[in-house]
């Protein structure tokens, strides 16, 4: 056998690892692409309306697969001059081809997107990564437990999904350096390091969240979908991160009533709008069932802002009453097709309290920023 020949053994461990390394790299790229597209993914109808299946198909528009593409336009050799050109003259520009935008049919392909399989738990973990209930205070009954993962140790044995890539690379570099052949190459089973962790629980005070939604006739399909999208993720976030948080569902038109969770997300109504009715009901629920001495209280209301003008002053008065007993009050206004500027949010500009937060959502991509704004754990710190 000559010096240039080599033999790959069937027992060569690197071959067995290559497929797994490629899969892990692909999973990491998918995860990064999902995180970049969260604003669009959060409000995907296929997710909000999914039938309880564990696996979801998530569209990702920024995950490109490498491929060769021959540029036939370069056959025109447009870069040559006629001998009379001066420095700075434009001798040729590539023709601009459309993707079907504007008049006439375009000749370029559209932007493809990749569909990734992801579990609802994995997606929720990415969405809720930095979220938390703001302004939590110590109350009499510390019953609200939030679960977190605490990394404890690094070991030489474990399962593939727990590989600590950074420490593994360090081990490879150290071993190669000691052998006088420095560099990152030749990973062996002895180089692998695995993370281990424990689930820890932080006990905080009890909390209740009042979910309030406008279901009047002015709330069209788009407005109701946006509101339900927000509350869908809010409910999942609260139940994922906190063990004992309570959620109360309130719906209103000119009158407000407490509903079941199923009715809140599925039942449609009509009629006029009197937002003060839901604020009054929220105060009644708090007074009868949730003492501010025992509970951290949060209230979130979504509407299209189309309220009776004569009711706006009453809304401001009741919001200020809610702020006396709540850790935070959030108001979300949805700009639909028939949105106009003189809305309830305009009236709420007179509410001057650091515990009051409002957002405006103009399209589906606004749901995720609204979640981040309402559940920003540093809000209390910024206010103090």
CA angle 40, 42, 44 (to 5 degrees): 75
Name the residue ranges covered by the structural domains of the chain. 10-67+112-126, 144-203, 205-376
Eight-state DSSP code of residue 180? T
> What distances in angstroms separate CA 297 from CA 18, 134, 255, 257, 324, one per listed residue?
52, 10, 22, 19, 10
Encode 64-80: b = buried (16+ Cβ within 10 Å), e = exposed: eeeeeeeeeeeeeeeee
pLDDT at 337: 76
pLDDT at 142: 56
pTM of the predicted model as reported, rounded to 2 decimal places: 0.63
Q: Name the E strands within the chain.
A: 55-60, 114-119, 144-155, 194-204, 207-214, 246-252, 256-259, 296-303, 328-334, 356-361
How many CB atoms are closer than 10 A to CB 361? 22
How many CB atoms are closer than 10 A to CB 289? 11
pLDDT at 111: 47
pLDDT at 67: 47
pLDDT at 42: 77
Residues 6+ apart with CB under 8 A from 99: 106, 108, 109, 110, 111
Q: With beta carbons less than 8 A apart as the criterion, state whether 218 and 179 touch.
A: no
**Angle (deg, nearest 10), helices 13-36 and 120-127:** 60
Q: With beta carbons less than 8 A apart as the criterion, state whether 334 and 220 touch.
A: no
Could you read off the pLDDT tens digit of each residue along the chain, which spans 384 residues? 555 554 544 455 454 555 566 666 767 777 777 777 777 777 777 666 655 555 556 666 555 544 455 555 555 555 555 566 666 565 555 555 555 545 555 555 544 555 666 677 777 788 888 788 888 787 766 555 556 556 556 777 776 767 788 888 888 888 888 888 888 888 888 888 887 766 665 555 689 999 999 999 889 899 999 999 999 999 999 988 887 789 999 999 999 999 999 999 988 777 889 999 999 999 999 999 999 998 999 999 999 999 999 999 999 999 999 999 999 999 999 998 777 777 899 999 999 999 999 999 999 999 999 999 999 876 644 433
Phi-psi region of 100 (alpha: psi -120 to 50; beta: other; left: phi over 0): left
Tokens in use for 94?
């590539």
CATH number of 205-376: 3.40.50.410
């Amino acid at each position: 056998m000559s010096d240039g020949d080599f033999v790959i053994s069937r027992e060569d461990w690197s071959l067995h690892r290559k497929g797994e390394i490629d899969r892990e790299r692909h999973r990491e790229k998918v995860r990064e692409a999902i995180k970049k597209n969260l604003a669009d993914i959060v409000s995907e109808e296929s997710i909000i309306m999914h039938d309880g299946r564990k696996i979801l198909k998530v569209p990702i528009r920024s995950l490109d697969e490498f491929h060769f593409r021959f540029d036939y336009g370069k056959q025109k050799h447009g870069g040559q001059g006629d001998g009379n050109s001066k420095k700075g003259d434009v001798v040729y520009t590539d023709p601009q081809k459309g993707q079907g935008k504007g008049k006439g049919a375009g000749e370029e392909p559209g932007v493809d997107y990749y569909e990734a399989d992801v579990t609802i738990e994995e997606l929720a973990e990415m969405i809720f990564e930095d979220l938390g209930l703001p302004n939590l205070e110590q109350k009499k009954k510390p019953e609200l437990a939030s679960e977190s993962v605490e990394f404890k140790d690094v070991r030489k044995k474990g399962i593939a999904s727990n590989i600590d890539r950074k420490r593994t690379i360090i081990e490879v570099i150290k071993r190669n350096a000691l052998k006088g052949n420095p560099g990152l190459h030749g990973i062996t089973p002895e180089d692998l390091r695995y993370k281990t962790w424990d689930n820890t629980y932080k006990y905080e005070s009890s909390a209740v969240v009042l979910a309030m939604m406008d279901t009047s006739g002015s709330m069209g399909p788009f407005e109701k979908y946006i509101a339900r999208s927000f509350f869908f993720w809010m409910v999942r976030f609260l139940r994922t991160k906190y063990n004992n948080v309570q959620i109360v569902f309130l719906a209103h038109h000119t009158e407000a009533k407490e509903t079941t969770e199923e009715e809140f997300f599925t039942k449609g109504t009509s009629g006029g709008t009197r937002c003060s009715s839901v604020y009054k009901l929220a105060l009644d629920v708090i007074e009868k069932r949730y003492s501010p001495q025992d509970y951290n209280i949060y209230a979130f209301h979504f509407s299209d802002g189309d309220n009776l003008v004569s009711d706006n002053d009453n809304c401001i008065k009741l919001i200020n009453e809610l702020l006396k007993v709540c850790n935070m009050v959030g108001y979300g206004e949805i700009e639909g097709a028939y949105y106009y500027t003189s809305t309830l949010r305009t009236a709420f500009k007179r509410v001057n309290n650091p515990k009051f937060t409002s957002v405006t959502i103009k399209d589906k991509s606004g749901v995720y920023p609204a979640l981040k704004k309402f559940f920003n754990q540093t809000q209390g710190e910024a206010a103090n």
